[in-house]
Structure 1
Amino acid sequence: MEYHVKDLSLADKGKLRIEWAEKDMPVLRQIREKFEKEKPLKGITIGACLHVTTETANLMITLKAGGADVYLTASNPLSTQDDVAAALVKYFDIPTFAIHGEDTDTYYQHIKEVLDRKPNITMDDGGDLISTLHKERQELIPNIYGGTEETTTGVIRFKAMEKDGVLKFPVIAVNDAYTKHLFDNRYGTGQSTIDGILRATNRLLAGSVFVVAGYGWCGRGLAMRAEGMGAEVIVTEVDPLKALEARMDGYRVMPMIEAAKIADFIVTVTGNINVVDKHHFEVMKDGCIVANSGHFDVEINLKALREMAVSQRDVRENVREYRLPDGRNIYILAEGRLVNLAAAEGHPAAVMDMSFANQALSAEYLVKNYKKLQPKVYKVPDELDFEVAKLKLNAMGIEIDELTPEQVEYLSSWEHGT
């Protein structure tokens, strides 16, 4: 088996951590038990470009249980957990190509290693696997049934490809499933981003001014958790509806240029470029801590900050200090990459359980339905989303009501009125 991981001697530690995460992933466990019996992915090759974490490991194990040949590479150079990568290779016979801190050339070489296995289904977290395939390996496209995408960033990319007429096969937007974005993005990103910031800085949030750039589901979750830690939360937005929602939720709303003047912490979760830019650095107060929890390291204009700085140094693990000509210091966490994964362990297993359940069921759906699908971005079918929610409730021991026949008839009729 070909693979490229940092050190196989880390595998024992990784195996224990994978087992620990699995205890909090009952939905995926139920799907794995079903897959082991039915083998819906038998004969299918799956190429995955995902964060190599304990939760992802359990997804890979589930896909393999369903009969698939699985190949995994990292979707971010700083998110790989080297012990997990080693355990996947040594104990689960899943070829993995990922090393924490790998350079850009190695990162893309690993993606090409996975593409060399001629996958039938791709799984992306940010879109690099599919975009590389479309740019450099179009001869593989006839072999592809379809793909899945885990992030807002990736879905935006693929919808742009669809609009331009260059998307060559169907992609299921797992990110847009209710059981993904309502829970993973909100509760997962909210908690894990705070976790990454605290691990990196050990700073007190209570009493601080905490700026959240972007009020999508990730921003909502982050604002909620920062407020819960005692911070004064400010939201910056470009969408008037989301800005209004943030204000109605009790947060101050203002342009970034104003927020940057008073911020102790600034965290971007927008999926867009240069959200924190040169003119913002120019007005930040001394000691401002800036981090990103969006997928790519483009939301903070680090190039501009480097050009402005007279010196820079690492003052803690995952904390880089940039000294400006007037003596102010700006601190960037985790090189502007996803702070929740680069400085912490990412989302808790309990929320990734639902996200990866959607991934597994979407792979099965593609195998059964790819001949009927067009090269478009599709939402996760409602029946799969509801199934994941039902399995989660079942695992939590929660029962809910069902509509009576009378209620079903009432909701489907136009004749009933006041």
Structure 2
Amino acid sequence: MAPPPYDVADLGLAQAGVRRVEWAERAMPALRRVHDRFAAERPLTGLRIAACMHVTAETANILRALRAGGAEIALAASNPVSTQDDTAAALVAEYGIAVFARAGMDPATYDRNLAAVLEQRPHILLDDGCDLVNLAHLDRPDLLADTIGGCEQTTTGVIRLRRMSADGALKVPMVAVNDTATKRMFDNRYGTGQSTIDGIMRATNTMLAGRTMVVAGFGYCGRGLAERARGMGARVIVTEVDPVKALDAVMQGYTVLPMDEAAPIGDILVTVTGNRDVVRAEHLASLKDGAVLANSGHFDVEIDLPALDGLAVEVRREVRPQADEYVLADGRRIVLLAEGRLVNLGAAEGHPAAVMDMSFSVQALTVAWIAEHHADLHPGVHDVPREIDTEVARLELEALGVGIDRLTVDQEDYLNSWRA
């Protein structure tokens, strides 16, 4: 059988990709159960899905589950530095999924690949940062008549979708998969925390113990990163714009400072905010010699890269893999990791598969829910039904061999009666 449409680096890498995908699957037992359910029930038969996601082994396993459910799928990469070329090849050659992704592609190719998956005239959009949804609305609104809904799996993307909805620009129902309890707990807190440390360690081989790490942003991702950095012996400083989150950081024992005061004393600065220009020219100018800059907040706008280029008199590319050294006029050196893109995917392999097991199980079940209930959904941002979140937590506990209590009839009556 001929492969689906594709633009990947080398189909000859497919077998290496299969081994990578199957290894990840071992740590994704909940998603495996969803896969088996979909294969038996085929809830997505006849549906076309366009996805803009990180092309990794973990992503491959949710796409395999959706394919088992009957869907036809086209995938573009959501980040040029995270694409695993062997996984992309395996998805095309072994799993029958159209893939348009190459590691290290330039912005023009990125845009072309997004357009290519939209050419499949999708019924459902799976997005990671809202780029695909944004492109469909701005450049291909003619396709939206076929679109019954979609999912967004990042904080940054949900922020953009809510803004679109508030402006009356969002024309399809989108479900905020990012905002579920299991996603925030596992993916954002535990996943981002561990994988960001992993990326920094791989790129720099530095010791965290005794170093000062500045964590910009104390949402779920920032909390996870701060916890793990402190656990490895780093002195952690938090910067925030939200008084409630800043207070939370203080009460957890972290030093909280404005970035103006934190930047000059930080050995490692990591942005995890979802906003732009968090580390600006005035902060860059104050950094100590050898300071390391990294971003784990999705887009490469959190660190002001044009300002960094403007300050540097020399740029030494790849002093280590995924580490570029910028030399300032006074001789100070600043090290930028993964080109300011997601360090946990650019310099490492992203979240562990066990983390993505939860997030992707929620997303797969949500896709089936959209397929069943789309006629009742209006354009805008919707929450994942709580029963899906609960079901995924139950599947994960079963896979871990963990049992929990159940409410007795009397307990349920007590909770449901105001007269008790």
**TM-score w.r.t. length of structure 2:** 0.98
Superposition misfits of 4+ residues, deviation over 6 angstroms: none
Pairing 1:408–2:407 present: no
Match of 1:145 among 143, 148, 151: 148
The amino acid across from 2:385 in the alignment is: P
Pairing 1:335–2:339 present: yes
Pairing 1:356–2:356 present: no
Pairing 1:380–2:384 present: yes
The amino acid across from 2:369 in the alignment is: Y
Match of 1:72 among 61, 71, 75: 75
Q: CA RMSD in A?
A: 0.7
Cα distance per residue 1:168-216 (max 9 Å; x no partner):
0000000001111111000000000000000000011010001100000
Pairing 1:27–2:30 present: yes
> SS at 1:392's partner residue?
helix
Pairing 1:261–2:264 present: yes
Which residue does the alignment assign to 2:214? 211
Which residue does the alignment assign to 2:327? 323
Which residue does the alignment assign to 2:397? 393
Instruction: Return 5+ residue gaps in structure 1 as ranges.
Output: none
Which residue does the alignment assign to 2:198? 195
Which residue does the alignment assign to 1:10? 13
Q: Residue 389 of structure 1: CA displacement?
A: 0.5
- Alpha-carbon separation, structure 1, partners of 2:18 and 2:343: 24
Q: Residue 237 of structure 1: CA displacement?
A: 0.4
Q: Residue 282 of structure 1: CA displacement?
A: 1.4
> SS at 1:92's partner residue?
coil
Q: Residue 358 of structure 1: CA displacement?
A: 1.0
- Alpha-carbon separation, structure 2, partners of 1:298 and 1:110: 21
> SS at 1:60's partner residue?
helix
> SS at 2:94's partner residue?
helix
Which residue does the alignment assign to 1:295? 298
**TM-score w.r.t. length of structure 1:** 0.99
Cα distance per residue 1:98-127 (max 9 Å; x no partner):
000000010010111100000000000011
Which residue does the alignment assign to 1:92? 95
Which residue does the alignment assign to 2:56? 53
Pairing 1:117–2:126 present: no
Q: Residue 12 of structure 1: CA displacement?
A: 1.3
> SS at 1:304's partner residue?
helix
- Alpha-carbon separation, structure 1, partners of 2:297 and 2:105: 19
Cα distance per residue 1:140-180 (max 9 Å; x no partner):
01100001001000000000000000000000000001111
- Alpha-carbon separation, structure 2, partners of 1:412 and 1:254: 45
- The percentage of counterpart residues that share the same residue type is 58
The amino acid across from 1:92 in the alignment is: Y
Instruction: Return 5+ residue gaps in structure 2 as ranges.
Output: none
Which residue does the alignment assign to 2:223? 220
- Alpha-carbon separation, structure 1, partners of 2:209 and 2:52: 37
Q: Residue 415 of structure 1: CA displacement?
A: 2.6
Q: Residue 413 of structure 1: CA displacement?
A: 2.2
Match of 2:171 among 168, 171, 175: 168
> SS at 2:236's partner residue?
strand
- Alpha-carbon separation, structure 1, partners of 2:116 and 2:407: 50
- Alpha-carbon separation, structure 2, partners of 1:298 and 1:378: 27
- Alpha-carbon separation, structure 1, partners of 2:203 and 2:13: 23
Match of 1:286 among 275, 285, 289: 289
> SS at 1:350's partner residue?
helix
Deviates more, 1:158-167 or 1:9-18: 9-18
- Alpha-carbon separation, structure 2, partners of 1:233 and 1:392: 32
Cα distance per residue 1:201-233 (max 9 Å; x no partner):
001101000110000000010001111111001
